[in-house]
Amino acid sequence: MLEGYVTALITPMRDGAIDEDAFRAFVEWQIAEGVNGLLPCGTTGESPTLSHDEHMRVTEICIDVANGRVPVIAGTGSNSTAEAIALTHHAKEAGADAALLVMPYYNKPTQEGMYLHFKAVQDAVAIPQYIYNIPGRSVVNMSTETMARLAALPNIVGVKDATADLTRPTLTRLAIPGGFNQMSGEDGTALAYFAQGGHGCISVSANVAPRACAEFHAAWKAGDAAKALELHTRLMPLHDVLFCESSPIPVKYAAYLLGKCGADMRLPLCPPMSASKQRIEAVLRALGLLKDAAA
C-alpha cells in the first residue's frame, strides 16, 4: 500500500519545449530528499497542455530516473474514456507502478457515468489505479457509494482525495472496509486526513520542500503527534501561498526561485503577479529554503 508523500511533479519547460535535463535532475533531487513516490503528468505537471507524445515522454523519463527506487504513479486521466485507456496502457508498458485517473471534467457525468468510465479503464488495463476526486477542477464529485462500487473491482486500489472535505476519509473507510488506499490531495488538510486513517499525501508543496514534507509524515507514522503538528504548522504558509494563484503557477515560480527549472509555463497559464511573486519568495525565505534570489 502506498504511504507517505508522493510529489505531484512540475514539468520544467524551456523555449516552449520540455526541459528534459532539468526534469531528470528534479526527479533525482526529489528522491534524494526522501519523498516516498512520484507522480508525473498530473495537474501540477501542466498535463492539460502537454501533447500526447510529451505526456508519454515525461512519464517515461520519470520511470527511467526513478529506476525502481520509489514508486511512480503516472497521471493518465482524461474526460475521454478512450484517451484515458490509451494513456493508462502506455503507463503500464512504460513500467509505471500505478495510474492516477482524474474525474472526467467538463462532461459532467452522472454517478453511473463515473462508475462506467473508471470501470472501462480498469477492465482494459491491468495496473493499480487511483481515482482522483477533485471537484474544484472537474465540477463533479464522486459519492462514497460510487467509490465503494469501484473499490470492489480488482484494479481500483485507492483515491487521491482533493475534496478538502474532512468527513470523506472516515466515510470512505466506513463504506470501503479493508485495504483501500486513501491519499490526501490537499497539503493543508493532510494532518487531519492522516488522523482519520489516511495513508499519505499526493503533494504540491513537496516540489519545493520535499524533505520537510517527508519528515512530517515520518513523524506522524512514528506516533510523534506533537512533532507532526509542529512540522505541519511550519509548512502551512507554504501550502497556502502555493495556491495564491491558480496552481501550478505559484509552485512553478517557487521551483524557479530555487534554481530547479526555468520559469516557463504554457498558456493559458501565465507568470504570477508581482505581489504573488513577493509572497512566494517571502515564504521560501522564512522556511530557510531560499538563500539567494534566482538570477
DSSP string, 236-273: HHHHHHTTSSSTTHHHHHHHHHTTSS-S---TT--PPP
In a domain, 63, yes or no: yes
And the C-alpha cell for 269?
A: 497559464
Q: What residues are annotated to the active site? A: 132, 160
In a domain, 272, yes or no: no
In a domain, 235, yes or no: no
In a domain, 281, yes or no: no
Distance in angstroms (rounded) separating the CA atoms of residues 280 and 8: 19
Distance in angstroms (rounded) separating the CA atoms of residues 262 and 92: 30
Q: What are the pLDDT digits (tens) for 208-259?
A: 999 999 999 999 999 999 999 999 999 999 999 999 999 999 999 999 999 9
Would you place residue 195 in the very low, low, confident or very high pLDDT band (cuts 50, 70, 90)?
very high
In a domain, 101, yes or no: yes
In a domain, 231, yes or no: no
Other C-beta atoms lying within 10 Å of the C-beta of residue 115 = 19
In a domain, 285, yes or no: no
Give me the domain span that covers residue 132: 4-224
Predicted pLDDT at 294:
46
In a domain, 263, yes or no: no
Domain count for the chain, please give it. 1
- The angle formed by the CA atoms of residues 124, 100 and 35, to the nearest 5 degrees, is 140
CATH of the domain at 190: 3.20.20.70
- Asked if the peptide bond before residue 250 counts as cis, ω within 30 degrees of 0, the response is no
Threshold 0.85, pTM exceeds: yes
Q: What are the pLDDT digits (tens) for 259-284?
A: 999 999 999 999 999 999 999 999 99
CB 72 within 8 A of CB 40: yes
Q: What are the pLDDT digits (tens) for 81-114?
A: 999 999 999 999 999 999 999 999 999 999 999 9
